[in-house]
Structure 1
Amino acid sequence: MGIPAIVTAGDSRAAKAVYGKSKVYLEIDGLPLVAHVVRALQDCPEVDAVWVVGDTERLEQALGSQQLTSTLRKPLHIVPQQRDLISNAWETYRRVLSGDVTKGRDPNPDELDTEVFLLSGDVPLATPQEFSSFIKASQVANVDYTLGLCPAESLDIFRPEQTGGSGISVAYFNVRDGRFRQNNLHYARPARIGRLDRIEEMYELRHQRRFWNMFTLAIRILASRVGGFKIAMLFSMMHFAGVADRKGRKKLARFLARAVTLEINRATISKILDTRFTFIVTESGGCGLDIDTEEEYEVIRERFTQWLKDQKARSIELHGPLPQRLEDQRQ
């Protein structure tokens, strides 16, 4: 039995607008960003159905073009958006259980371990191999919630090749293990996560370039008494290490990051969310390059054809080719 994929394409609260509109509807190479994600999921062998949550009228239009529908081989369901990210994910999960896009239900006792693959709708450079690698690693980890990371090396290829050149430089979490960026991929047993509300809070404050976001998150966590002062210090050290890294102070960044490891983060997040949590590192990098600004959109639109070609080649090198039956259908 396959895994349902839930693509979040809502435009409420934590969602960022680009050019004054929900970014998942921005077009690249003739397709909205969310359509690129849906198309890539068609070739992920572990996924058996795609559920997209957002503005139903706009999604029906965005996902209704012949360019996309001619590639669909899996059931595609559109679910109306709720008030925020977590509500979107939870209500879509409930509809997965019921099999009805209009009405969901809570899990029965024998469904508490039902798993779903969740991802953002604004990662046009994602590849099926990257999805598949993450899902398989998450299943091996056998926890209740996994979050994907990609190492800095997998994203450095998108940086400008020279000063003033076209490219994108992104922010990283700096820890003793290295420099990482979350890659917008999640794998979960939603019914087993004790504090879903804290995922929403962390997501809303995810832009680590902004000190106020990190400071506010640290204060909220401190006030929650879940981890107290230690957790607040953890996020602060990662923030200052990230600032040093972006300013080119590599030695200082490494020094500050020595106090924090992926394992410390894993244990801390498990405690915050009241669940069994871990990170999954994938090397491809395409899912880590989402679009948050007009400048990023313009660069990806300009470089899309070459970057996607490079990502596909890199994915094959890292993870191997797609199953033959899917390759045949793509020809």
Structure 2
Amino acid sequence: MDCIVLAGNRENYRSVAREDNKAFLKVGGRSILHIILEELRAVDRVDRVLVVGPKDRLQEEVGTHLVAAYPKPLLFYQQGRNLVENILGTVAASATGVTDRVVMVIPSDIPLITCEELNQFIDRCDMDAYDYVGGITSAHVLARYAPQADQPGVTMATFRLNSGSYRVSNLHLVRPAAVKRADYIRQTYALRYQKQLANIAKMWLVLLGLLWRVPTAPFYFLVAQGARHCEVWGYQRLAKYLSGFVTLSRAEGYISSILGTRFKVVETDFGGAAVDVDNEADYHTISRRFDEWRRMQRRRLT
């Protein structure tokens, strides 16, 4: 299996700490890209690592020595205009002759990812039954990284379902040839910051444009947003009532219809993949507590 590491910095990209590419931010003395490559080294089912972004700078950052010493092929590709171009372009450029191959896709701004979480995610994905599996993490797990009385933390936005609150965890296993309408991935990725009212409105417009294919999807999205905001604003009883209509299976069905593929969600238990570097405050917090959180992750394994 190939793993595509998305290290591009084009469409809708957000700079952090004066760095226009988060893959090069330093955490614990190493770039986030180096941390991710080190964890991927220990994922046996990943046969090749394909890094896409500003190719020359990525190769300079990694260095010829690491590439030569890496235990599996480590290849670099020049980025395209957007997320979907980066994925599909890399798949095409690295073609192995298998037209329906499955690839793992991860971003380059998750310094707390571990090989154990990557392995757990792969173990739980049934790629015979599905063509696209996305990862989620529960709010209960993410609480390990939240602020404490005497320590800063990272508070991640979650979405409320009838079974609990979750966050998309940045892990994807996909058979690109089986996704008929991949451009919707690009659109939703561009609107991923759902704390912003403008992005919520734009997402609503995207869904309204899909009424003919999934007539109830916009109303489902509206109820889901209502449940999430009621939870944030402290109206827990109303949030619980609204979330009773928001089930994971229905969400999976809507996404399958929109993308034209067989979609499934898989939960992982570590949390590192969901803690991404979204802003400067989170970056400084992760940098400050990185070693401590790494020890916490290792303790949970034992």
TM-score category by the smaller chain? over 0.9
Q: For each residue in 1:188-224, what CA deviation from the matched residue of structure 2 results, as whole angstroms up to 9, or x when unmatched? A: 1100100000011111111121222122112112123
| Two-structure CA RMSD over aligned residues (Å) | 1.9
TM-score by length of structure 1 reads 0.86
Alignment partner for residue 90 of structure 1, among 71, 88, 91? 88
The answer to whether 1:138 aligns with 2:125 is: yes
Q: Describe how 1:173-322 pairs up with structure 2 within 5 A.
A: 173-227=159-213, 229-314=215-300, 316-317=301-302
Secondary structure of 2:2's aligned partner: strand
> What residue is the counterpart of 2:21 in the other structure?
22
Do the aligned residues in 2 keep the contact of 1:222 with 1:228 (CA within 8 Å)? no
Asked if 2 retains the 8 angstrom alpha-carbon contact of 1:171 and 1:242, the reply is no
Give the Å deviation of 1:252: 2.4
Q: Which amino acid aligns with 1:63?
A: V
Paired with 1:70 and 1:249, the residues of 2 have a C-alpha distance of: 56
Deviations 1:256-301 (A, max 9, x none): 2111110010000000001111101111111000011000000000
The answer (yes or no) to whether the contact 1:214–1:236 under 8 Å persists in 2 is no
Q: 2:104 aligns with which of 117, 139, 143?
A: 117
- Which whole-Å deviations, capped at 9, do the CAs of 1:234-259 have from their partners, x for residues lacking one? 11222222222223333222222111
* Unmatched runs of 5 consecutive residues or more in structure 2: none
Partner of 1:157: 144
- In the alignment, which residue of structure 2 is the partner of 1:54? 53
C-alpha change, 1:43 and 1:71, in structure 2 (3 Å) is farther
Match of 1:77 in 2: 75
Aligned to 1:127: 114
Retained in 1: the 8 A contact 2:214–2:257? no
Task: Determine the structure 2 residue equivalent to 1:36.
Answer: 35
C-alpha distance in 2 between matches for 1:94 and 1:229: 34
CA deviations on 1:131-175 (whole Å, 9 max, x unpaired) are: 01111211366311011001111110111112x741111110101
Q: Matches of 2:198 and 2:240 in 1, distance apart?
A: 22
- Verify the 8 A CA contact 2:110 2:272 in the aligned structure 1: yes
Q: CA deviation at 1:181?
A: 0.4
- Give the match for residue 44 of structure 2: 45
Q: Aligned partners of 2:99, 2:221: CA distance in 1, in Å?
A: 31
Measure, in 2, the Cα distance between the counterparts of 1:169 and 1:70: 39
Contact 1:241–1:253 (CA under 8 A) maintained in structure 2: yes
Query: What TM-score do the two structures reach when normalised by structure 2?
Result: 0.94
Aligned AA (1:9)? A
Alignment correspondent of 1:328: none
Alignment coverage as a number of residue pairs: 301
Which structure is higher in RCO with an 8 Å CA cutoff and minimum separation 6? 2
Q: Distance in 1 between matches of 2:228 and 2:61?
A: 36
Residue identity in the other structure for 2:95: L
Q: Distance in 2 between matches of 1:93 and 1:139?
A: 21
SS at match of 1:47: coil
Shift of residue 86, structure 1, vs aligned partner: 0.5
* Percentage of matched positions with identical amino acids: 30
- Output the CA distance in 1 between the equivalents of 2:299 and 2:235: 33
Gaps of 5+ in 1: 99-107, 318-331
Q: Is the 8 A contact 1:127 1:312 kept in 2?
A: no
Structure 1 contact 226–271 (Cα < 8 Å) conserved:
no
Distance 1:313 1:113, change over 3 A: farther
Paired residue type of 1:309 = R
